[in-house]
Amino acid sequence: DAGVTQSPTHLIKTRGQQVTLRCSPKSGHDTVSWYQQALGQGPQFIFQYYEEEERQRGNFPDRFSGHQFPNYSSELNVNALLLGDSALYLCASSLGRDDFGYTFGSGTRLTVV
Amino acid sequence: KNQVEQSPQSLIILEGKNCTLQCNYTVSPFSNLRWYKQDTGRGPVSLTIMTFSENTKSNGRYTATLDADTKQSSLHITASQLSDSASYICVVSDSGGYNKLIFGAGTRLAVHP
């Protein structure tokens, strides 16, 4: 049973560019949440997708957007990259409002130069 | 403001010794509290989850406690092993929205031989 898979594992982008990160949830899960984790810090909630809609959002600018597909996979898009966007981006999946089965992927390490 | 604070920030212990990590939170309304282990550059892995009515939960050499009155939790690691070297993150789920997780900054534990 595959867990949460994220791609790519590492990525280097230049300031001002755009990036797309991808996440496939654990089998049976329908909710995807995205987190940003700066070095030495705890993850910060970006947003959550359920039934292809963003249903909750953290304190992140509109440069951060996302999408959920009918197969429950999700994308995180970041436009106009800043140096401060360099971080580990984590995807977590769960089933509906049940957060006991919350499962994290291994993350995508984004470096902006 | 919903916050989770952990102490100490970092800790070094010798292999075979015990240690206790602390977590204080101000999240309301409270749903559950969990402890995660996160290896460097990897996604967090759940160790324990406790609801309001639970005051202790064990997972092998890891034992978590919860005092919902004082809003404090601890994670006790017994007979530490080199593989316990990681960050340990306290996470509180609020029940006011769609179970958004609020993360502490983590305690970085190093176990030395």
Distance spanning both ends of chain A, measured CA to CA: 37
Per-residue pLDDT reduced to its tens digit, A57-111: 989 999 999 999 999 999 999 999 999 999 999 999 988 766 667 899 999 999 9
Q: Are B18 and B78 in contact (CB under 8 A)?
A: yes
Structure tokens at A19: 């990036």
Structure tokens at A84: 């401060």
Query: Would the CB atoms of A56 and B44 count as touching at under 8 Å?
Result: no
Which residue in this structure is represented by tokens 């404090």? B72
Residue A31: pLDDT over 60: yes
Return the beta strands (E) in chain B as ranges.
4-7, 10-14, 19-25, 30-38, 45-51, 56-59, 62-67, 72-77, 86-94, 101-103, 107-112
* CB-nearest partner of B100 from A41, A56, A103: A56
How many of the other CB atoms lie within 10 Å of CB of A61? 10
Q: What's the pLDDT band for A1 if we cut at 50, 70, 90? A: low
Preceding amide of A43 cis, omega within 30: no
Q: What is the spatial distance between Cα B100 and Cα B26, in angstroms, rounded to a whole number?
A: 14
Q: List per-residue pLDDT tens for chain B, 113 residues long.
A: 778 999 999 999 999 999 999 999 998 888 889 999 999 888 999 999 998 889 999 999 999 999 999 999 999 999 999 999 999 999 998 776 565 788 899 999 999 99
Q: What's the pLDDT band for A48 if we cut at 50, 70, 90? A: very high
Q: What is the spatial distance between Cα A40 and Cα A94, in angstroms, rounded to a whole number?
A: 25
Interface mutation target, options B10, B101, B102, B107, chain A, most CBs of A under 10 Å: B101
Q: What is the spatial distance between Cα A65 and Cα A85, in angstroms, rounded to a whole number?
A: 14
Query: Taken in order B2, A109, A94, A97, is the CA torsion positive or negative?
Result: positive
Amino acid at the residue B20: T
Closest chain A residue to the Cα of B38, Cα to Cα:
A106
Which residue in this structure is represented by tokens 């959002």? A57
Chain B residues with CB-CB distance to A38 below 8 A: none
pLDDT of residue B7: 97
